[in-house]
Amino acid sequence: MDDAVARYREAIDFYRRALLLDPANPALHNNLGGSILAAQGSVDDAVACFERAVALRPDYTAAHYNLANVLRAKGRFNLAASHYEQVIALVPGCAQAHYDLGNVLGDLGSLVGDRRKLDEAAACYERAIAIQPEYADAHTNLIVTRMDQGRLEDALVCCHRALAVNPDSADAHMCAAHILLLTGDFANGWREYEWRWRVKEAKAHGLMKPMWDGGPLDGRTILLHCEQGLGDSIQFIRYARLVKERGARVLLSCPVALERLFANVVGVDEIRREGDRLPEYDVHAPLLSLPGLFRTTLNTIPAGVPYLHPDPSRVHVWRDRLAGCSVLRIGIAWRGNRKYENDRNRSLTAVHFAAMLDVPELAVVNIQKDATPAELETLRHIPGTFFNAVPFEHGLHDTAALMVNLDLVVAVDTSLCHLGGALGVPVWTLIPIAPDWRWLLHRDDSPWYPAMRLYRQPSFGDWKSLLDRVRAGILRLYGRR
């Protein structure tokens, strides 16, 4: 036990003894709740303490605030919002309370698919900024909310306003980058995207050698290194060939999960796992900086596929394993990484997919890595054949070998979409109303992946009509087979 936790536990003992003498003291209940959270993270016990404090003293601002925070952490968003509103009623000029109320309203809007909650959240951020014009987080969340609403022009105006207050706001620059790239303004978007290294969540690459400026390499060794998610690396490894054409010896550092998948990428001379000791090199480049270094436009995206090639022996293994499957083989993935902050807006459920796939004689192949037993049981009740491939897969390189034996992959926006796209497999990607920048706007194809089709939410939270369209597309494809 560290010293801080020990001190908080001493405080818990003190407050409990004090409450035996003065049980109606709201400050003691409030402080006990805070100490419990700090010492042992017992949210339910802390909630009880804060609730007792506000019951004893309804105008106790700090206790309302503490209660709102822990309720939000428990996912009790409506109740949390009511206590933030109590704080605002007591202290109307508290910018932090308006900001936090905006956050919990945004949580509610995403949870229930209610666009009106996003409108209310935006109004909260506007009030927080009016009270405290330099409130950087309020500016950022207002921009993101406008983007979630699909109000991109307003979001860009908010970026300019945030940058007028703080020209070095990395968050505002990054929001601007996403908007510019999403709307196809690559020339300005790639430049703004370089601010990603300065946002507070960024991991510095820690490399001492200079970053490549895009010029001739003339026999020098360049280190290309992965960043962000697996899907990002899969999407942008395509640039290794172009780097090689500048006269380089190309060294690639990548996560172990991608090592075998990238083993035969054209342009890569040597691969090292992340964390391994690197041989000598002259310059480096992060993969997601390469589009900007090559001044990529919508018309010059290197879109030739496939640029990833699975092990032929594993392709044959999967061909034999799937030999008994039906007319149309469809791989499915309904959920992304739960740790991703926007996952709830992009992910669906196995129930959604089961309803979409009630087409006789389909062969549905599960490639959802973290599928639960209950989810798998749901899918086993579809009319066609269901095969859970995950227990037989040995990494992404093996998933690639499986995918090239499928007729179609239907998935939400995850690394599996990028993998299928890079393999040239037909992929139908299901994306929310506020898409990631790489999917652009108002189109059902992707300039990055010629074999991919995009299915877009028509309005905030409306997955049903999107899934109806996917089902109709599957029926048409099935009919042709």
What domains lie within the chain, and their CATH numbers?
Answer: 3-198 (1.25.40.10), 221-293 (3.40.50), 312-480 (3.40.50.2000)
Q: For the segment 293-320, what is each residue's pLDDT rounded down to a tens digit?
A: 999 999 999 999 999 999 999 999 999 9
Element (H, E) at 249: strand 249-254
pLDDT, residue 110, reads: 75
Is residue 111 predicted with pLDDT exceeding 80? no
Quickly tell me which residue has 């049980």 as its tokens. 23
What's the pLDDT band for 206 if we cut at 50, 70, 90? confident
pLDDT, residue 354, reads: 94
Residues above pLDDT 70, as percent of the chain: 95
Name the more confident of 305 and 108: 305
Q: Which contacts qualify for 242-248: CB closer than 8 Å, 24 or more apart?
A: 242/267, 242/290, 242/294, 242/302, 243/217, 243/267, 243/285, 243/290, 244/268, 244/269, 246/215, 246/216, 246/217, 247/216, 247/217, 247/218, 247/219, 247/220, 248/217, 248/219, 248/220, 248/221, 248/222
Separation CA 412–CA 405 (nearest Å): 20
Name the more confident of 157 and 23: 157
**Rounded average pLDDT over 209-220:** 94
Per DSSP, the three-state class of 426 is coil
**Rounded average pLDDT over 73-83:** 93
Is residue 1 predicted with pLDDT exceeding 50? no
Name the more confident of 254 and 204: 254
Residue 359's nearest CA partner among 479, 185, 210 is 479
Is residue 7 predicted with pLDDT exceeding 80? no
β 449-456/445-446 pair status: antiparallel
Element (H, E) at 365: strand 362-366
pLDDT, residue 4, reads: 67
435: cis peptide before it, omega within 30°? no
Is residue 121 predicted with pLDDT exceeding 60? yes
Around 242, how many Cα atoms within 13 Å sit in the side-chain half-sphere?
20
Is residue 208 predicted with pLDDT exceeding 60? yes
β 270-273/249-254 pair status: parallel
**Rounded average pLDDT over 380-387:** 91
**Rounded average pLDDT over 387-393:** 93
Q: For the segment 139-166, what is each residue's pLDDT rounded down to a tens digit?
A: 999 999 999 888 999 999 999 999 999 9
Tokens of 228: 């962000």
Residue 189's nearest CA partner among 302, 296, 342, 341 is 296
**Rounded average pLDDT over 41-68:** 89
Tokens of 404: 């090239």
Element (H, E) at 474: helix 464-480
CB atoms within 10 A of CB 249: 16
According to DSSP, residue 275 is labeled T
pLDDT, residue 11, reads: 73
Is residue 75 predicted with pLDDT exceeding 50? yes
Residue 99 and residue 131 in contact, taking contact as beta carbons nearer than 8 Å: no
Separation CA 109–CA 107 (nearest Å): 6
- Which string of DSSP letters, residue by residue, matches 33-75? HHHHHHHH--HHHHHHHHHHHHHH-TT-HHHHHHHHHHHHHTT
Residue 186's nearest CA partner among 422, 415, 453, 448 is 448
Is residue 202 predicted with pLDDT exceeding 80? no
Per DSSP, the three-state class of 392 is helix
Separation CA 329–CA 343 (nearest Å): 27
Quickly tell me which residue has 């499986």 as its tokens. 402
According to DSSP, residue 23 is labeled T
Separation CA 400–CA 309 (nearest Å): 8
Is residue 414 predicted with pLDDT exceeding 80? yes
Element (H, E) at 108: helix 95-112
Q: Does the reported pTM lie above 0.85? A: yes
Tokens of 420: 């299928």
Helix residue ranges, H only, 150-254: 152-165, 170-182, 186-193, 230-236, 240-244
Task: Tell me the average pLDDT of the chain.
Answer: 91
pLDDT, residue 126, reads: 97
Tokens of 222: 């360049």
pLDDT, residue 2, reads: 65
pLDDT, residue 395, reads: 94
Residue 28 and residue 15 in contact, taking contact as beta carbons nearer than 8 Å: yes
Q: Is 113 left (phi over 0), alpha (psi -120 to 50) or beta?
A: left
Residues above pLDDT 90, as percent of the chain: 75
